[in-house]
Amino acid sequence: MTDQWVLNRLNFQGCWQGRGRWFGRDSQDRLDLASPVRVMDPTTYDISFSDPDTGVWDGSGLFFAQGGKARYEISRSTYNTGGGCWQFQGAGGQSSLVPDPDRRRFGHEINLFHDRSRSMLVLLWEPVGTRWRLQLVGAVGFLCRNTSVRKPERLASMSPEAMLASLGGWSSVAETFWPQPGCIGQVSAAEPSVFVPEQFMRHARTAVMPAGLIFSVPEYLPDGAYQLEIGCLHTVELFQQLSIVFDANGSLTTWERRRFRANTKKVDP
pLDDT tens figures, 55-91: 999 999 999 999 999 999 999 999 999 999 999 999 9
Q: What does pTM read for this prediction?
A: 0.95
**Number of residues that make up the chain:** 269
Which helix (H) or strand (E) segment is 209 a member of?
Answer: none
CA–CA separation, 207 vs 209, rounded Å? 6
How many angstroms separate the CA atoms of 201 and 12, rounded? Answer: 29
Where does residue 127 fall: left (phi above 0), alpha (psi -120 to 50 degrees), or beta otherwise? beta
Could you report the per-residue pLDDT of 145-165, keeping only the tens digit for each?
A: 987 766 666 666 789 999 999
Give the pLDDT confidence of 239-261 residue by residue, as tens digits.
999 999 999 999 999 999 999 99
- At 268, the pLDDT band (50, 70, 90 cuts) reads very low
Please state, in angstroms and rounded to a whole number, the distance separating the CA atoms of residues 141 and 120: 6
Contact between 59 and 71 (Cβ < 8 Å): yes
Q: Domain coordinates of the chain in residue numbers?
A: 4-149+159-261
Q: Convert the pLDDT of each residue in 187-235 to its tens digit.
A: 998 999 999 999 999 999 999 999 999 999 999 999 999 999 999 999 9
The domain 4-149+159-261 belongs to what CATH superfamily?
Calycin beta-barrel core domain (2.40.128.20)
